[in-house]
Amino acid sequence: MRKLTSLLLISFFMSAGLAYAQSPGEIYRKANLNYENEEYGKAASLYEMLLKMDKVGPEVFYNLGNSYFKLKKIGKAIVNYRRALRLAPGDRDISHNLKLARAMTVDKIERPEKGFLMKALLLPYDGMNIDQLTIFVSLAYLCIVILLIVSIFFVAKRRGLFYAVGTLAAILVVFFIFLASKICAKNSKEVVVVVDSVDVRSGPKEDYLLQFTLHEGSEIRIIEEAQDWCEIDLSKDLRGWIPKDSVEAI
C-alpha cells in the first residue's frame, strides 16, 4: 500500500512539474489550438494556467472570455472581457463581445448612457489604460518643468512660455483626474455573478429574509464583507447579502 501511495505521489508531482515546465508561449499556443479545434474546456483550463504562471496581456483574458462564452458560462465570460478591457480600453473586439455577453444575461441592469459630448470629453479616459495615463501625466509634468527652466534663460519669450505652461498644467490636472479615477475603479470591489442564480438576503446568513434573486452575469459592487458573505449594492433601493463563492472579482 505504501509503494502504491508513493507511486501516486511521484506521478502527481511529475505531471505538475511537466505542466509548469512548459513555457507560457507553448501553453498559449496549445490553448489557441484547442480553441480552434472547439475544445473550449481544455482551452479555458490552459488560459487559466497562464494567469497563474505569469503576468499576461489582454489577449489571454479575451481568449479566456471567448472560451467561457462558447461554454455558455456567461458570468465568467463577462469577468474576463472586463479584465481584458481594463488592459486594452480602446479594443473594439473586446467591447463588442462584452456587449454580446451582456445581452445574454437574465437581469437587465440599466447602465447610464453617455451622450455624444460626454463620450468626446471622456475619449482619453475610455481609450487609455492606467500605464498609458501614467506615462502621459509624467511626460506632461516633465515638459512643464523643462519649460519653467527654459523661461529662466529666455526672458523675452517668458510670457509665451508661461502660456504654454498654463495650458500644459490644465491638461495635466485633467489627465491626473482621469488617472486617479482609473486607479479607484481598479481598486473598487466590482464582481460578477458566476453561478446560475443567487438569492440576495437581508443579512449575512441563509435564514435572513429573501429580498430578490440575481442571475449569472449580473455585474455588481461589493460594499461590505462578513466572513463568507458580502453586501452588494445595485442601486439606492437594491442592497443585500450574497455568498462570496457565488461571484468572481473583475
CA distance 137 to 107: 39
**Predicted model pTM:** 0.71
Q: Which superfamily, per CATH, for 190-249?
A: SH3 Domains (2.30.30.40)
Helix%, strand%, coil% for the chain, nearest 5 = 65, 15, 25
pLDDT digits (tens, 9 = 90+) for 64-96: 999 999 999 999 999 999 999 988 888 999 999
> What is the DSSP annotation of 170-193?
HHHHHHHHHHHHHHHHHHS-EEEE
Task: Please state, in angstroms and rounded to a whole number, the distance separating the CA atoms of residues 201 and 192.
Answer: 17
pLDDT(3) > 50: no
Cα(236)–Cα(2) distance, integer angstroms: 61
Q: Is 82 helix (H, G, I), strand (E, B) or coil?
A: helix
How far CA 40 is from CA of 16, 36, 154, 168, in Å, comes to 21, 9, 65, 49
Q: How far apart are CA 30 and CA 46, in angstroms?
A: 8
pLDDT mean across residues, the chain: 84
User: Using one digit for the tens of pLDDT, what is the confidence trace for 162-215?
Assistant: 888 888 999 999 888 888 887 776 666 889 999 999 999 999 999 999 999 999
Query: Three-state SS across 123-157?
Result: HHHHHCCHHHHHHHHHHHHHHHHHHHHHHHHCHHH
Q: CATH fold of 13-103, please? A: 1.25.40
2 — pLDDT class (breaks 50, 70, 90): very low
